[in-house]
């Protein structure tokens, strides 16, 4: 339940971090390693460009207006996730791939 609104977490190593219920609104997570992280959190308007989200749990997370350009997304759990374009992953075949709003597709969304 940490309040990390507007936090500067560029290049942070958050592997296996439990950020459940955290407020990461507008946080800068560029190039952060979030492998296996529990991100049932508010990531609205967050910058996740080039972040490694391999096998991250984004169930119930809000990614509305978040930037995931060039993020690594293989194995991400997308359940009831609010996608960057405002749609719900559960209505998109349990994925936000195709709903990321970025010009450059993220890895793992093939």
pTM above 0.85, yes or no: yes
- Predicted local confidence at residue 101, as pLDDT: 76
Q: How far apart are CA 104 and CA 40, in angstroms?
A: 25
Nearest to 85 by CA among 44, 54, 53: 44
Q: How far apart are CA 106 and CA 18, in angstroms?
A: 23
Residues 45-66: tens digit of each pLDDT = 999 999 999 999 999 999 999 9
- Predicted local confidence at residue 104, as pLDDT: 66
Percent pLDDT > 70 in the chain is 95
Q: What is the mean pLDDT of the chain?
A: 94
Q: How far apart are CA 87 and CA 78, in angstroms?
A: 12
**Alpha-carbon distances of 94 from 72, 76, 90, rounded to whole Å:** 17, 10, 5
């Amino acid at each position: 339940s940490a309040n990390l609104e507007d936090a500067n977490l560029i290049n942070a190593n958050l592997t296996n971090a439990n950020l459940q219920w955290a407020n990461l609104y507008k946080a800068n997570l560029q190039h952060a390693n979030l492998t296996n992280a529990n991100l049932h959190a508010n990531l609205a308007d967050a910058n996740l460009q080039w972040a490694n989200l391999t096998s991250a749990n984004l169930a119930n997370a809000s990614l509305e207006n978040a930037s995931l350009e060039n993020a690594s997304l293989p194995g991400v759990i997308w359940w009831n996730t609010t996608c960057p374009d405002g749609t719900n992953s559960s209505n998109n075949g349990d994925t936000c791939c195709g709903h990321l709003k970025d010009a450059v597709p993220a890895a793992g969304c093939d």
